[in-house]
Amino acid sequence: MTHWMTDSTPPDDQSDLAVKPRSRTQRPPMYKVLLLNDDFTPMEFVVHVLERLFHMTHAQAIEIMLTVHRKGVAVVGVFSHEVAETKVAQVMELARRQQHPLQCTMEKE
Ligand code: TYC
């Protein structure tokens, strides 16, 4: 008996019946960054934050700011955990520096 015959892998005589192995690749979880409404933060400050930190055009920033103002909350972007955390921290820091009560949070998509 030759050595290769003791191998535990059976001869592949049914290659035409092969099934696709289940893919084990996974997407990393993504996180929504949410902006919350309040009664005190000036509209123009919120627009500035959206332009500066979320790279929105002036028109897009106004639209999202007004959505938050009317509905109470809006998603301003979807990012990896690390980027979402950084964005939230940057918004909170800009607001804190200007003493605005603006709140920004993140949640798993
Ligand atoms: N509601 C605020 C006002 O009337 C404006 C505002 C919009 C505040 C969006 C926060 O996330 C916010 N000045």
* pLDDT tens profile 2-34: 433 344 444 444 556 677 777 788 889 999 999
Chain segment 37-76, per-residue pLDDT in tens: 999 999 999 999 999 999 999 999 999 999 999 999 999 9
Cα 7 to Cα 9: distance, rounded to the nearest angstrom: 6
Cα 95 to Cα 107: distance, rounded to the nearest angstrom: 20
| DSSP class per residue in 46-102 | HHHHHHHHH---HHHHHHHHHHHHHHSEEEEEEE-HHHHHHHHHHHHHHHHHTT---
Cα 106 to Cα 71: distance, rounded to the nearest angstrom: 17
| % of the chain residues with pLDDT over 70 | 84
Sequence length of the chain is 109
**Nearest ligand 1 atom to alpha carbon 42:** 13
Return all residues near 61 (Cβ < 8 A) that are at least 6 apart.
46, 47, 48, 50, 51, 54
Residue nearest to atom 4 of ligand 1 (CA): 39
Chain segment 34-45, per-residue pLDDT in tens: 999 999 999 999
- Cβ < 6 A, ligand 1 pocket: 35-39, 41-43, 46, 65, 68-69, 102
CATH class of 40-108: alpha beta
Residue nearest to atom 5 of ligand 1 (CA): 43
Q: Cα of 18 to ligand 1 centre, how many Å?
A: 59
Residue nearest to atom 13 of ligand 1 (CA): 42
The ranges assigned to domains in the chain are 40-108
**Nearest ligand 1 atom to alpha carbon 35:** 11
Residue 103's beta-bridge partner residues?
36
Q: pTM of the prediction?
A: 0.80
